Amino acid sequence: MAKSKKQKETELMTESKKSIGFLQIVLAWIIIPLMFTAAVVLIIAKVADVNVFDQAKEWTSKVPFLEKKAPDEKVEGDLILEERVISLQAEIQEKEAQLFELQDELTQVKDSNEALEIEKEKLNEEIEKLKLAQSESKRDFKEIVTTYEQMSPKSSAPVITKMGDAEAVQILSSLKPATLAAILEKMSPEQAAKYTSMLTK
């Protein structure tokens, strides 16, 4: 048993020496020369004023499967879409401004129409008042004419001559021909001629 333990220990030591020996060989023949070569290349690049890291990025970007797009780099289609979105947003803002202008104009037109409606109502009220006054005036005038027709010509002639010419002619022109003739007979010849002349105009 003791021998087998010693044998095992010896075998383990031998194997570990072999693995250490393999690592030493890899380190001595591959890694150290590579590191030395890289150091020499870096020194030469520094002397030649070449940025090795930028060159490495450039070379790796040319390799198809290593190529990466920068996050801010846009595809041409994306740029076209973005420009279209911007132009549409500008168009929307322009249309909104036009809409606000039209709404303002519409409000002004509505206000103007309301003012015109109020003015129209006022004018209609005035027309109704004037029609009423006119009808009352016609009724009053007819009553006056009827009164003069019922008066004796001797009494009505002096009253008419004291009136203004316009009122006198208006009353005389509304009288019946027989009543008019009787009143003109009771006036002086000058006054009768004056009123006859005015009635013929």
**What token pair was written down for 166?**
């316009």
Share of the chain above pLDDT 90, in %: 19
Position 68 scores a pLDDT of 54
The pTM for the full model equals: 0.35
Residues shown for the chain: 201
DSSP 71: T
Mean pLDDT of the chain: 80
What does the pLDDT read at residue 15?
A: 66
Q: What is the rounded distance in angstroms from the CA atom of residue 180 to the CA atom of residue 153?
A: 8
Whether residue 74 has pLDDT greater than 70 = no
Furthest-apart CA atoms within the chain: distance in Å: 185
The mean per-residue pLDDT over the stretch 83-95 comes to 92
Please tell me the predicted confidence (pLDDT) of residue 53. Answer: 76
Query: What pLDDT is stored for residue 54 in this prediction?
Result: 77
